[in-house]
Structure 1
Amino acid sequence: MDGSKMSAAVLYFLLASPLLLAAGSPVHESSNGTVPLVLWHGMGDSCCNPLSMGAIKKMIEEEIPGIYVLSLMIGKNVIEDTENGFFMDVNEQVSMVCSQLAQDPKLKGGYNAMGFSQGAQFLRAVAQRCPSPPMKTLISVGGQHQGVYGLPKCPGESSHICDMIRKALNNGAYTDMVQKHLVQAQYWHDPFNDDLYKKHSLFLADINQERVVNETYKKNLQLLDKFVMVRFLQDTVVDPVVTEWFGFLKTGQAKETETLQDSVLYKEDRLGLAAMDKAGKLVFLASEGDHLQFSREWFNSNLLPYLR
């Protein structure tokens, strides 16, 4: 895989594009002193696809000999894992993962975490809700931390699943039925209906502290040593792409965007991100290419240092 582009796009998976992203290194020391790593895949992918997360896990293990890498499976098998990325309540998924991590003796000393696309914001919820075992560094690879308003290339017009998702979101993203049974609705952020979003979003509005400030969430997130966010400069999948750096569209329209630093979340420091930024804990990285596409060389140079 050296020198070649690794396509880990969760959304591209349904188009049969190979997913070759994933892996990191956790923070509980293994027998050789490495920190364990927990991976969470994106939409349409699974924990163990040999062309995506499986390849990333293998690559990390090659680069950091002896590291313990746990690639999360949400369900009893790969099929369930993939389906749950579309249809299982995100809050239930996060609860399942918290329980799994707490019961893993190899993680009791702490771990690093790396999430791909939607898996990134799900792992952030783990950091905010479940501080034991401790997450040390969170690496978000194309994560949508202020949600999305659109599903371009999801993965394409020929996809029955994506067509169904689009219709459901357009017809009522914030109805109880859609919120509870469609994962993407739980991080759908409609700038034209901000009040509906804040009131009815079951997942994103909660972890982004948009209703009330949960001081425990805020405290737990600030326990991270580093929060690394990767943005793909040619991303045609995530809309708006600034969400990968925790930015979003300005309220009431769908053209102008604002950075994290210009947002109310930052100015009021509802998540503790302003304090983390001042402490040098936030890292903003950019990669050329489309969603979840990067070279092994780029990965080794930019992300591995946070895992060693």
Structure 2
Amino acid sequence: MHGIVAFTSDMNELAGWLRTSFPGIYIVSIEIGNDFDDSFLWSLDKQVEHFCTRIRNDIHLQQARFHQLVTKYAYEKFIQDRISIANYWHNPTQLNKYISQCHFLPDINNERETHNKIYCTNMLKLNAFVITYLDLDEIIVPKQSG
């Protein structure tokens, strides 16, 4: 899905990279209303409703295939090296893979057997630590971890 005051075609470069990197992948770029205007003038509720309807009606996106894909491949080196969200994907049903193969989150959280004391030292040096999140976030669960 494109961003605010943008066009579906703005996603073409990313889609091309994905097609090159993952031959045979199915990609859909969802147009919100008439793109540019409606991405600004429609409420987020209306945009999300439109987006979800398009996803639900797309036969290629049925049966939770995206979730299955993430669950199966998130900790693979190829994906860890290329897809940002895979670096903070924490699947509680695959803790061994998460600890041993996830490149970022287990280190930052000091969840590995060997802890990095520099992370703790640096956190303690901060005058303030501010974390923000969006109450309506449905991507990061729990949203407070975003």
Say yes or no: does 1:210 pair with 2:91: no
* Letter in structure 2 aligned against 1:227: F
- Partner residue, 1:178: 79
* Equivalent residue runs for 1:15-30 within 5 Å: 15-17=2-4
CA contact (8 A) 2:108 2:119 kept: yes
Match of 2:133 among 210, 213, 231: 231
Higher strand share: 1
* Equivalent residue runs for 1:22-61 within 5 Å: none
Deviations 1:109-132 (A, max 9, x none): xxxxxxxxxxxxxxxxxxxxxxxx
1-side partners of 2:124 and 2:94: how far apart?
30
Match of 1:190 among 91, 110, 113: 91
2-side partners of 1:233 and 1:181: how far apart?
28
Question: In structure 2, the residue corresponding to 1:228 is in which secondary structure?
Answer: coil
TM-score (norm 1): 0.27
CA contact (8 A) 1:235 1:241 kept: yes
* Equivalent residue runs for 1:109-188 within 5 Å: 157=55, 166=67, 168-188=69-89
Deviations 1:86-130 (A, max 9, x none): x9xxxxxxxxxxxxxxxxxxxxxxxxxxxxxxxxxxxxxxxxxxx
The structure whose RCO (Cα within 8 Å, separation 6+) is larger is 1
Deviations 1:208-236 (A, max 9, x none): 11102111111112211111112322333
1-side partners of 2:70 and 2:137: how far apart?
21
CA contact (8 A) 1:231 1:241 kept: yes
2-side partners of 1:166 and 1:15: how far apart?
21
Q: 1:190 to 1:198 in 2, by over 3 A?
A: same
Question: In structure 2, the residue corresponding to 1:193 is in which secondary structure?
Answer: helix
CA contact (8 A) 2:110 2:116 kept: yes
* Letter in structure 2 aligned against 1:204: L
1-side partners of 2:92 and 2:104: how far apart?
16
- Aligned-residue sequence identity (percent) comes to 26
1-side partners of 2:124 and 2:141: how far apart?
27
CA contact (8 A) 2:80 2:86 kept: yes
* Letter in structure 2 aligned against 1:16: G
CA contact (8 A) 1:190 1:197 kept: yes
2-side partners of 1:187 and 1:165: how far apart?
17
Unaligned runs of 5+ in 2: 7-12, 22-48
CA RMSD of aligned residues (A): 3.4
Question: In structure 1, the residue corresponding to 2:129 is in which secondary structure?
Answer: strand
* Letter in structure 1 aligned against 2:132: V
How much has 1:201 moved relative to structure 2?
0.6
2-side partners of 1:220 and 1:18: how far apart?
39
- Larger C-alpha radius of gyration, 1 or 2? 2
- Partner residue, 2:32: none
Q: 1:164 to 1:172 in 2, by over 3 A?
A: same
CA contact (8 A) 1:168 1:178 kept: no
